[in-house]
Amino acid sequence: MIKKLPNLLFFITSFSFAQDAEIFKPDSIKKKIEAIQISTTLRIDGVMNDPEWKLAKPTSDFTQIEPYQGKQPSHRTEVRVLYNKNYLYVGIFARDSLGKKAIRATDFKRDFSFRQHDLVALSFDGFNDKRNAMALVTNPYGVQRDFLSFDDIYYDIDWDGLWRVRTSRTDSGWVAEMAVPWKTLRYPKTDSLTQNWGFNVFRNRRLTNEQTAFSPFPRSFTNTRMDYAGVLSNLQPPPPSTNLRIQPYFLTSLDRYKNFDNKPNENTYKVGGEIKWAINPNAILDVTANTDFAQADADRQVNNVTRFSVFFPERRQFFLENASLFGVGVGPNEDLSGGNMRVQPFFSRRIGLDDNGNPIPIDVGARFVYRSLKRNYGAIAMRQREVGDSPGTNFFVGRYSENFGKQSRIGGLVTVKNRPDGSNMTGTIDGFFRLSESHSLNTMAVYSTSTNGGKQGFSGFAQYYYSTNQFKFWWTQSIVTKDFNPEMGFVSRSDVIGTTPGVFFFNRGKWIPFKKFIRAFEPGIMTEFYHQASTGKLIERQLNINPIWLNFQRGGFFGYLINPTFQRLTEAFIPLGVTIGTGDYNYVRHQIYASTNPAAALSLNTSFEWGTYFDGRLNSHDIRLQIAPIPHISILARYNRNHFKEVGVENATTKVDLYSIEGRFALNPRVQLIGFYQKNAENLSQNYNIRLSWEYQPLSYIYVVYNHREFDNLLQKPKQMEDHVIAKISYLKQF
């Protein structure tokens, strides 16, 4: 049966091809919003009472995306666009019959979660290439979210643009008033007097999860799929000119250590900064000196009981910008499709951080990025300082990709890590092919070599997706050889051949009961087969059968999975201190995932796992409780437990707990106090981070940070502790 399962999945998917009646093609006649030129400067206060707004005719012809694609919205959204020589102004009135009572927002975090907020989003395609977009998003309290999108596949989520928004909330809905400097936007220099850009406006009414858009698109896509965008017409932007941003900083810190060898207490001062030069609308150069990331969010610990390495996301701002150009690779999607295997030839956390996430100073670095309709290329060069046993290290990554067709590309990437004792290099060839609106193929081949030891290795993958409004099918084939070693990259597992097909079904038929509460029934099957690359033998098999998955109208969900699993251990496996010996193991795990409405003042997200585990049993649960009585106050508590029962060579019965609590307290989107505490029984560690942040003018900040870490070192008794108090001020000036 197991051998026949991939064929069964392929048959089910092939049979369903003809069922896709709702993935419509982009309309050849584009909807338009006309921008009106003014000579005055507007006051941005979220009220829209300047008389100039009356010059622009409101556009309100929106279409539902969710839950009823193509239907009329339940609530009107009105959009007006004005501009002068310095700014593009957008005014939006999100009407609502319930007024303020309908508004949902859980925090004031910049780049907030789409699932927890009312919002309106603007998508700009200044080059009309129908591939790339700049998205500016706000919620009813003027909190900003902005990102860059490329082919609606790769996203620079943490890109921060320089723009301003103010909002107001009334008994008729809420108003957003935005002012975007022309220097923030990207557009070509042309001889034409006027320009027309690709443009879309998207709204999410979070109370009912109703999503609407000015220019409609299939619900399985997003508002940055710009071949479906409308047109923003009659623009007369100034010709692109010198665009230089300078952001120096000054920092002082008190560093205290207890029970460390050769690590004295210090009081330090630090000066550095960054320069961003938009050389032209296509090319940007970033230079950083004495780089500092004191304000970066702290990593969240994870207790891992799988055979895959944990992937910690990048949190440092310099490396987050334009990350999508260099971030080629394969990995699981947010909805768990695609398989668990992750391979990235370049992973920016290899620069300026050790294996435990501790910072290593960066002396100087630069990044150059060029993007156009035909091609994209860029490079990063960094110098990491010599500290203790870690020698001075040079890092380089170069990237080139050529676009062709509507949304396809081929490219290459090179990484070089150079230390006094040798160099490590990788070379990558990759491609993405949009075969149709629903079909796509992503491929990559990587070669690695090291001068110190001379080992060479190979990794590659091919990943096919077929996505419609009715189902999503994927097949990922990957390989990582035993000696593949990308020292500037990330690999979740070595010496493995992965085969991971799967399918999700999206059902919204009238037969679904309790339609007032249940929006969709989405069962699925996710299979994973792993063979050892050096021997060809099967070493792991998972059949993740998901017979029940319900998505609720208010954003919650409930799902049940059963996972028959086979594991062949060729060496000891030690999850959370429990040693499991070599041999073959068959066991079955059960999982329940559930969430209430994540936008509510009180929300709960839980997962429970139980069943056999190798030669014993393992019960696990993860509980997250969020309390957000008002957006100014948000508290998230988490409790994670793994309870082993008679597992491993020592027949171990033990519990490993992980606790955390974080709070965000905000006067407004610009002044916030953020705290985070975490305790882990696995290594007896306690960490907390407290950060006061004041954005005293756009993208200029004052930070006061306190970090505390304590943990048991098996080679050092008693417990080691360190404390850091940091004050930092940065100032951004745009020329």
Q: What is the mean pLDDT of residues 608-620?
A: 97
Provide CB contacts within 8 A for 585, sequence distance 6+: 566, 567, 568, 569, 614, 615
pLDDT confidence tier of residue 716, bands split at 50, 70 and 90 = low
Pairing relation of β-strands 77-83 and 496-505?
Answer: unpaired
Give me the CATH number covering residue 105.
Answer: 2.60.40.1190
165, 138 Cβ separation under 8 angstroms: yes
Question: According to the model, what pLDDT value does residue 21 have?
Answer: 41
User: Is residue 584 assigned to a domain?
Assistant: no
Nearest of 363, 365, 369, 370 to residue 381 by alpha carbon: 365
425, 415 Cβ separation under 8 angstroms: yes
Does pLDDT of 15 surpass 60?
no
User: Is residue 659 assigned to a domain?
Assistant: no
Question: According to the model, what pLDDT value does residue 11 have?
Answer: 45
pLDDT digits (tens, 9 = 90+) for 412-424: 999 999 999 899 9
pLDDT confidence tier of residue 713, bands split at 50, 70 and 90 = low
Q: What is the mean pLDDT of residues 596-616?
A: 96
Share of the chain above pLDDT 70, in %: 96
User: Is residue 137 assigned to a domain?
Assistant: yes
Q: Which amino acid type is present at position 251?
A: L
Does pLDDT of 182 surpass 80?
yes
Separation between Cα atoms, residue 429 and residue 402, nearest integer Å: 12
Does pLDDT of 2 surpass 50?
no
Question: According to the model, what pLDDT value does residue 3 have?
Answer: 47
User: Is residue 113 assigned to a domain?
Assistant: yes
User: Is residue 292 assigned to a domain?
Assistant: no
Pairing relation of β-strands 496-505 and 518-521?
Answer: unpaired
The sign one gets for the Cα dihedral 43, 44, 47, 51 is positive
680 to 93, 314, 365, 641, 709: CA distances (angstroms): 47, 22, 35, 10, 12
Does pLDDT of 71 surpass 50?
yes
- Tokens linked to 18: 């003809």
Q: Which helix (H) or strand (E) holds 711?
A: strand 700-713
* Number of domains making up the chain: 1
> Which pTM does this prediction carry?
0.86
Question: According to the model, what pLDDT value does residue 311 have?
Answer: 85
User: Is residue 5 assigned to a domain?
Assistant: no
Separation between Cα atoms, residue 99 and residue 698, nearest integer Å: 29
H-type alpha helices, 167-322: 317-320
Question: According to the model, what pLDDT value does residue 133 have?
Answer: 93
Separation between Cα atoms, residue 343 and residue 330, nearest integer Å: 5
User: Is residue 548 assigned to a domain?
Assistant: no
- Tracing tokens 């909805």 back to the chain, one arrives at 335
Separation between Cα atoms, residue 443 and residue 456, nearest integer Å: 21
Burial of 421 (0-12, 13-18, 19+ CB in 10 A): exposed
Which has the minimum average pLDDT: 85-89, 142-146, 459-463, 514-518? 514-518
Question: According to the model, what pLDDT value does residue 9 have?
Answer: 40
Residue 100's domain spans which residues? 31-235
Question: According to the model, what pLDDT value does residue 156 have?
Answer: 85
- Tokens linked to 106: 């859980």
For the chain, state the CA radius of gyration: 26
Does pLDDT of 180 surpass 90?
yes
Share of the chain above pLDDT 90, in %: 74
Q: What is the mean pLDDT of residues 242-250?
A: 91
pLDDT digits (tens, 9 = 90+) for 615-650: 999 999 999 999 999 999 999 999 999 999 999 999
Nearest of 161, 149, 339 to residue 243 by alpha carbon: 161
Separation between Cα atoms, residue 200 and residue 354, nearest integer Å: 42
Q: What is the mean pLDDT of residues 237-265?
A: 88
Question: According to the model, what pLDDT value does residue 320 have?
Answer: 82
Q: What is the mean pLDDT of residues 484-505?
A: 95
pLDDT digits (tens, 9 = 90+) for 299-319: 788 899 999 888 888 888 888
Question: According to the model, what pLDDT value does residue 302 have?
Answer: 87
pLDDT confidence tier of residue 78, bands split at 50, 70 and 90 = very high
Does pLDDT of 656 surpass 90?
yes
pLDDT confidence tier of residue 711, bands split at 50, 70 and 90 = confident
Question: According to the model, what pLDDT value does residue 16 have?
Answer: 40
8, 525 Cβ separation under 8 angstroms: no
Question: According to the model, what pLDDT value does residue 6 have?
Answer: 43
Burial of 302 (0-12, 13-18, 19+ CB in 10 A): exposed
Does pLDDT of 207 surpass 80?
yes
Q: What is the mean pLDDT of residues 586-607?
A: 96
SS3 for 116? helix
Does pLDDT of 576 surpass 70?
yes
Separation between Cα atoms, residue 25 and residue 676, nearest integer Å: 46
Q: Mean pLDDT of all residues in the chain?
A: 91
Does pLDDT of 70 surpass 90?
yes
User: Is residue 417 assigned to a domain?
Assistant: no
pLDDT digits (tens, 9 = 90+) for 110-154: 999 989 999 999 999 999 999 889 999 999 999 999 999 988 888
